[in-house]
Structure 1
Amino acid sequence: MPAPLMSDRDLEFMLYELFDTEALTQRAQYADHNRETFDATLGTAKTVAEKVLLPFRQKADNEQPTFDGEKVHMIPDIKVGVDAIIESGLATPTASYETGGMQLPYIVANAATSYLVAAGGVATGYTGLTTANANLIEAHGNQEQIEKWVHPMRSGRFAGTMAMTEPGAGSGLADLTTTAVKQADGSFRVSGSKIFISGGDHELNENIVHLVLARVKGAPKGVKGISLFIVPKFLVNDDGSVGERNEVALAGLFHKMGGRAQTSTALSFGEQDGAVGYLVGEENKGLMYMFHMMNEARIMVGSSAAVTGVAGYQYSLDYAKERPQGRLLSEKDPHAPPVNIIEHPDIRRMLLAQKAYAEGALALCLYGSYLVDDEKTAATEEERQAAHTLLDFLTPIIKTWPSEYGPKANYFAIQVLGGHGYINEHPVEMFYRDNRLNPIHEGTTGIQSMDLLGRKVPMNGFAGYTACLNEIEKTIALAASRDNLSAYATQLADAVTLLKSTTEAVLGATQSQNIDAVFSNSVQYLEMFGHVVIAWLWLKQACVADLALEQQPHEADEQFYRGKLQAMQYFFRIELPEIRHWAKIIGEVDTTSYDMQAAWF
């Protein structure tokens, strides 16, 4: 019997015990739903994952897409998978009924998608970007654009991408050179090159809708002169049918270490007269609009990293329970039968580390999804704004901490399997390769750390920073009232105090010291803040588990809750103390890295 993709019990715990997802059904947006419909969605996702996606997971990893100079070719199983997701409604689960969606809460949709990602994540790479593309146009486009582009994407006829990165600019969007020239009919002609465009070309859908960042002729330099355009692979006729080919050409495919079945492309726009493009919103506000999609994609990347960490943990856990090898040091009889490797202390250490990383990361991503629901559907404008403020602040951490510690969990999964871990007869080496892309996707760890320290912390009078610490302190107060958790509450309170003093020190240093030197330690700051946030979410889980144990649950639940408490203990005793080392580096503005000269390498 194959290892489970996800722990059904853990998802149930996250949705209904840790986060009160059922309470969302009291809101008008979700009034048609209840726990039964939520569970049915999870069940559907699990079925699609196990019956459709899982059987070709290894094949998709081994047989990458190819380009013959005219078309992209890939194994037919991928289209079967994409179509299955679309037909099940899981491609657009949060969209409104009017645009063809299921109008589900984001947290439920994210939990359901976890099964699909754990089964390989191949098809969700295409459908997830399409949904984010449609969401952006729905939020910032006009009604004609919604009718022409969003509805076909929601139905699965069209796919969608985001096209930002250029060969000469990379993450430096201020230096992009793609241009747009306005035409008499109000459209634009777009010319330029983009690289690393996920899902940039394929034959899975009738059309591909590219959201392209470009600079209108005469626009200001830098990010303030960037506009956003809808540039389709094929033009669309007035009746909605697909027309002639636009000037969007596939220049080539990149071949990645992971996520191999999703095309990564170099695209050329407008090699002759210019590709036909349609302005979204107003000129020179493109980057602001694109952040709508980028922030959604960042939560998607963090969630993918967390789930891939969970998938590796589940597989290595199953393996450790079934694999007999060796004897404990305490066993002196050489004739005694070997024990399953889960009995060995070092295997338990690595499994517990995986659990702490992966389930902590998953809790963070689901919390972010709940904030999305609050931002969109909370009862009052004040509550919606509060959710927006907190989500905006946490987004760099939601994207980055799982994408750094998810691969660490996968590293341990490989190690648990030993020699079997690095051969592709087992999927844990693929999980590691897939997950290693996530620290780079949608803004590298370094970029996210500068965003957190330089923008998100001081923004709006420290509003997001303060809101985050207030939430943490609420949990500290709750845990402090429980005998079994009070010591951990004190430890987290001390961590928050250290975080505050470190933040004051580093921001103070920006006023008196070289800003480049100060920010050379921004990654350590993000990692420190991330550890405090994950410790908070583990303490939240521990509060739920400790209370549940008082109710004397049945044996399976008792073991589940004790596992939660042990993982929390691991994080607090082994991981959280790391922040003291980072605090010293950050607070004292250690310049060891900064002082290294290029010539010295």
Structure 2
Amino acid sequence: MTATALDRRDLEFQIREVLADSLLVHNRQTGDALEVIYAAADRMASQPLARAFSLVTRLYSDYVDALAWAREHYQPVSPQPDDEEQSLEPMIADPGVRRSLLSRKAMCEGGLALCLYGADLLTQKNEHPEADQQSEAESLFALLAPIMAGWPAQLFPGDEEAGQRARSSARDLLGRAIWRDQSRGLQRLMHCVQVDLQAAEAEPCQQWVLSLSETLQQAVKVTSSLGKSLVNGDQDQVLANAHNYLRLFGYIVIAWMWLRQANVAARALPGATSEADRDFYLGKLQAARYFFHWELPTVAQDLVLLRNQDDTCLAMQPEWF
């Protein structure tokens, strides 16, 4: 992972505020956020986590470059007659540019939060003094592993290597991980999400609780339906839409990560001691708002396709291309 690709303020927020009580932080003697990440990544030989960090770093680098470009380049304020001098404004003043930047921010910072959460789960699995906590962390990580490895890969549609990673992760999630130990990982996920839903005390965060809760409930229902089809031997038809299943749970988990960040930002905002801190927390809340208003609703189509077990792609024959 490249240090220069990540924003130091965001790292400090993720580690010192969102993960303040985690073993990932408490079991490190360093006070530097980057060193905490590197220590976790180096000692935890987890292929899904390493892949996730790599892809999220690419997303983060693209976002940082796009943000710098939008701040440094200018465009005309509005069309004007050729004989008049045009007024210019930074590209970042354009709502369309800000929408694009919000999308990038939501994906890379949400992805980073998931990577760090995964690193903390591995720390709990390896270092927690209580065996039952180790087991619960292992179950949740086993479920999240293909999501961490595959969901960010879906965000690089033109990259063949990323595409293959997304496809294999999707089949692993729907064909194995979700059913592991009688879906113990899914049960643990539902419990952990519920804890953060109940912690959403600030008004902005409460608006998103119902959206995430309902989407997760629908995902659980469609999972049950797909499970019955697998038992009946319809494996090919079920796994044909594994891409959509990975996307569905990827967006649910990233929405959860944004709710966690928003909960912390909303609590910290009233006590912000500088304009920079205030802007940072407001940016977190606005990115969370974007994800819940613009991104999470898009999984409705995935739910329909999965619920109907649509076979459009499966039925397409190679000779018809």
- TM-score (norm. length: structure 2): 0.91
SS in 2 for 1:335: coil
Q: Paired residue for 1:478?
A: 199
Q: Paired residue for 1:390?
A: 140
The alpha-carbon deviation at position 336 of structure 1 amounts to 4.2
What letter is aligned with 1:362? Answer: L
Q: Paired residue for 1:19?
A: 19
> 2-side partners of 1:350 and 1:525: how far apart?
25
> 2-side partners of 1:498 and 1:316: how far apart?
35
Taking structure 1 as reference, are residues 25 and 585 closer, same or farther at Cα in structure 2, changes over 3 Å only?
A: closer
> 2-side partners of 1:380 and 1:333: how far apart?
76
Higher helix share: 2
> 2-side partners of 1:483 and 1:337: how far apart?
39
Q: Does 1:579 align with 2:303?
A: no
Matches within 5 A, 1:65-464: 107-109=37-39, 296-328=46-78, 334-405=84-155, 407=156, 437-440=161-164, 444-464=165-185
SS in 2 for 1:458: helix
Taking structure 1 as reference, are residues 333 and 342 closer, same or farther at Cα in structure 2, changes over 3 Å only?
A: farther
> 1-side partners of 2:81 and 2:5: how far apart?
34
Taking structure 1 as reference, are residues 335 and 468 closer, same or farther at Cα in structure 2, changes over 3 Å only?
A: same
Q: Does 1:488 align with 2:238?
A: no
Q: Paired residue for 2:317?
A: 597
For the 8 Å contact 1:538–1:568, the answer to whether it is kept is: yes
Q: Does 1:6 align with 2:20?
A: no
For the 8 Å contact 1:510–1:518, the answer to whether it is kept is: yes
Taking structure 1 as reference, are residues 589 and 307 closer, same or farther at Cα in structure 2, changes over 3 Å only?
A: same
Which runs of 5 or more structure 1 residues have no equivalent in the other structure?
Answer: 43-104, 114-130, 136-292, 409-431
What letter is aligned with 2:279? Answer: Q
The CA RMSD measured in Å over matched residues stands at 2.5
The alpha-carbon deviation at position 526 of structure 1 amounts to 1.0
What letter is aligned with 2:129? Answer: A
For the 8 Å contact 1:368–1:391, the answer to whether it is kept is: yes
Q: Paired residue for 1:510?
A: 230
Residues 220-246 of structure 1 deviation map (CA, whole Å, 9 limit, x = unaligned)? xxxxxxxxxxxxxxxxxxxxxxxxxxx
> 2-side partners of 1:359 and 1:402: how far apart?
12
Residues 473-519 of structure 1 deviation map (CA, whole Å, 9 limit, x = unaligned)? 1111111x322211101111111111111111111222346321121
The alpha-carbon deviation at position 581 of structure 1 amounts to 0.7
Q: Paired residue for 1:138?
A: none
> 2-side partners of 1:575 and 1:465: how far apart?
22
State how many pairs are aligned: 318
What letter is aligned with 2:171? Answer: M
Taking structure 1 as reference, are residues 597 and 557 closer, same or farther at Cα in structure 2, changes over 3 Å only?
A: same
SS in 1 for 2:75: coil
Higher strand share: 1
Taking structure 1 as reference, are residues 455 and 551 closer, same or farther at Cα in structure 2, changes over 3 Å only?
A: same
Higher relative contact order (CA 8 A, sep 6+): 2
What letter is aligned with 2:57? Answer: V
SS in 1 for 2:77: coil
Q: Paired residue for 2:276?
A: 556
Q: Percent identity between the aligned chains? A: 29
Q: Paired residue for 2:251?
A: 531
Which runs of 5 or more structure 2 residues have no equivalent in the other structure?
Answer: none
Structure exhibiting the larger radius of gyration computed from Cα positions = 1
